[in-house]
A and B are shown apart, each in its own frame.
Chain A
Amino acid sequence: SEKMQRRQSSKTPKQPLKVHHKNQTDLSAWRKRGTTDPEKSLQNHQSPNYQKDDNNQYSLEQALSYFEKVQDCVSLKKNSVLQKHLTTVESIGLQRGLPPEGFNVLLNVALSGKLADKVNTRLLKSLVPASVIPETSVVSSVSWLCVSKCSSNVQVLFLRWLITVFDFIDHKEKLHALYGFFFSFLQDEKMCPYACHLLYLLTRKESVKPFRIRRLLDLQAKMGMQSHLQALLSLYKLFRPDLVTINLPGKMKTFFKNSEGPWKAAINTVRQRNQENFPVSCPLFLGTAQPQSRKRKWNAQLIIPASSTNKNIFEKDREKNCVNLYSTNESFPVEQLQTFSRLLQNIHRLEFPSQMGSVLTNPLLLHYMNCIKDESIYLRLYYWMGQTLQEECTWCVADNSQYEEEFKDFLETIYKTECFLQEGFSSCEEFLYKSLPLWDGFCCQSQILRLVSWIPLSSFSEMNSQLYDPLAQLFFTSSLYFKCSVLESLKELLQNWLNWHLIHLDSESDSQVHSLNTTLSGLVNTVAELIHFVGRISTVALHLENNNTFLLYFILDFYETVCDMYLRYNLPLLIMPPAGVFYPALLSMDPVSLNQLCYIMYRYRTNLVAAKENELSKKKILQFKFSNKTYQEYNQYVIAMVGCLWTSSVFQKDIHPQGLRMDDELLKKTTVQEYKSSFNIVYHPAMMGYAALFLQQAWPDDTTFNFSLIKWNWYLEYLYAQGLKGLKVFIESSINRVSEAS
Chain B
Amino acid sequence: DPQRTTFLLRKQWSLYSVTPLYRFSDAHLRDYSRLLSAFIAAEKQKGLAGGGGGEGLAVEVGVELDVKVAISSLPELKGSNRDQAAVLVQLSLRPSAFSKNSEEKLIWSGCFCSVSGDDLSENMREDFTCLPLFLANGAESYTAIVGSWFQKTFDCCFHRLAISPFTLSWMAAMWTGCKVDKTASAVELVFSVPCLPQPLDISYAIHPEDAKALWDTVQKTPGEVTQEEVDVFMDCLYSHFHRHFKIHLSATKLVKVSTAIASAQCDGNIKFLQSQYLTGVLMLLTELAISQIQ
A-to-B contact residues, CB < 8 Å: 1-4, 6-8, 24, 160, 163-167, 197, 200-201, 230-231, 234-235, 237-239, 241-242, 245, 248-261, 263-264, 298-299, 307, 309-311, 313-314, 317, 354-357, 375-376, 379-380, 383-384, 386-388, 390-391
Contacts and interface: CB of A to CB of B under 8 A. Distances in A.
Nearest to A387: B157
A258 B58 CA distance: 11
A251 B128 contact: no
Interface in B7-65: 19-20, 22-23, 28, 31, 35, 38-39, 41-43, 45-46, 48-49, 51-63, 65
B125 A307 contact: no
Contacts of A231: 57, 59
27 contacts: A1-B42, A3-B41, A3-B43, A6-B42, A24-B53, A165-B53, A166-B54, A201-B49, A234-B59, A238-B45, A238-B63, A241-B66, A241-B98, A249-B61, A252-B60, A253-B59, A255-B57, A255-B58, A256-B57, A258-B54, A298-B140, A298-B143, A375-B125, A376-B22, A376-B127, A384-B19, A387-B293
Contacts of A160: 54
Interface stretch (B146-154, B171-179, B199-207, B225-233): B146-154
Contacts of A249: 61-62
In the complex, which of the residues A3, A165, A201 has the most CB atoms of chain B within 10 Å of its own CB atom? Answer: A3
A248 B158 CA distance: 37
Nearest to A169: B52
Given A298-B147, A379-B128, A355 B48 contact: no
Contacts of B128: 376, 379
Interface string B201-222: 0000000000000000000000
Interface residues of B, number: 52
A3 B113 CA distance: 31
B40 to A, nearest CB: 10
B152 A354 contact: yes
**Which of B20, B61, B97, B158 has the most C-beta atoms of chain A within 10 angstroms of its own C-beta?**
B61
B54 A299 contact: no
The 7 A-B residue pairs whose C-beta atoms are closest, nearest first, are A3-B42, A298-B144, A383-B19, A250-B62, A164-B54, A387-B157, A234-B61
B61 A252 contact: yes
Nearest to A298: B144
Contacts of B98: 241-242, 245
Contacts of B155: 354-357, 380, 384
A309 B35 CA distance: 13
A250 B151 CA distance: 32
Interface of A is mostly: helix
Nearest to A260: B54
B190 interface: no
A314 B54 contact: no
Contacts, number: 158
B96 interface: yes
Contacts of B125: 375-376, 379
A4 B39 contact: yes
A388 B53 contact: no
A383 B96 CA distance: 42
A261 B54 contact: yes
Nearest to A375: B125
Given A251-B61, A314-B31, A383 B293 contact: yes
Given A197-B57, A200-B49, 10 more contacts: A4-B38, A6-B42, A6-B45, A166-B52, A234-B61, A248-B62, A252-B62, A355-B151, A379-B125, A386-B293
B156 interface: yes
A4 B58 CA distance: 19
A253 B58 contact: yes
Interface string B105-126: 0000000000000000000010
Q: Which of A237, A238, A258, A298 has the most CB of B within 10 A?
A: A238
Contact of B53 (A166, A252, A379, A390): A166
B159 interface: yes
Contacts of B55: 260
A167 B38 contact: no
A253 B63 CA distance: 12
B35 A258 contact: no
Contact of B61 (A250, A356, A383): A250
